[in-house]
Amino acid sequence: MDQKVDLSAPHAMGTTIIGVTYNGGVVLGADSRTSTGVYVANRASDKITQLTDNVYVCRSGSAADSQVVSDYVRYFLHQHTIQLGQPATVKVAANLVRLLSYNNKNFLETGLIVGGWDKYEGGQIFGVPLGGTIVQQPFAIGGSGSSYLYGFFDQAWKEGMTKDEAEDLVKKAVSLAIARDGASGGGGPNSHNKLRRSGPGNFYPGDQLPLWHEEMEAHNSLLDILGAPEPMSM
């Protein structure tokens, strides 16, 4: 039976997104695969979007929906900063995301995680799942790969982690989701470390991620896996 692939379908991110608080800030992580059904439209997309200098959002669901919500929130936060003369708090940014998601819940198919740092509350993580609910949590996971991670986080997450411990936890969790969830993958997780001021992101290619049960090591081509000789160059 022939399987037809609709390449004109909206791009949806079969996704793993994660936000974790630690003792001094937050770590956000995501895989980098954007898919349209069974077709991988982009294997190196960035699902962590900057809203302000101190707040970022992890995007899952429809890529178009999550991008337009991020763009609107970024614009409103910029106006907010100009009017007040100081950066918006993480809670204000998260509530703007919640407001747009809830008021347009019949049209949007996106779940988001807002994370950042401000001088009032320190590092904070807010989950805004499909429908526009807002929940403040010490850690949040979302996307199709999250169903494989709840038990892992219940066991591995602990309060008062250092930045290195939190980043290592996010790296392990994203690699585990990539191993189990066919809709998550790509080049590896994009981890962004935030401490007071937004820091540069770290990219982990697939061959630098830990392997899990029955996973094969990364190869350059199918010929490497089969052990076949390279074809002669013409």
Residue 151: count of CB within 10 angstroms of its CB: 9
**12-226 — its CATH code?**
3.60.20.10
* Cα distance between residue 76 and residue 171, in whole Å: 32
Q: According to the model, what pLDDT value does residue 226 have?
A: 63
From 31-45, 134-148, 207-221, the region with the lowest mean pLDDT? 207-221
| 51-94 pLDDT per residue, tens | 999 999 999 988 899 999 999 999 999 999 999 999 999 999 99
CA quadruple 112, 117, 119, 124: dihedral, nearest 10? 60
Q: Worst-scoring range by mean pLDDT, 45-49, 162-166, 229-233?
A: 229-233
Each residue's pLDDT tens digit, 198-211 = 345 677 666 666 66
Residue among 10, 21, 125, 9 nearest 63 (CA): 10
The arithmetic mean of pLDDT across residues 37-60, rounded, is: 87
Q: From residue 77, how far is each of 68, 128, 201 by CA, in Å?
A: 14, 17, 22
156-198 per-position pLDDT tens digit: 999 999 999 999 999 889 888 888 776 777 654 444 433 323 3
The pLDDT score that the predictor gives to residue 138 is 94
Of 47, 72, 98, nearest to 203 by C-alpha is 47
- Determine contact, residues 16/146, Cβ cutoff 8 Å: yes
Catalytic residues: 15
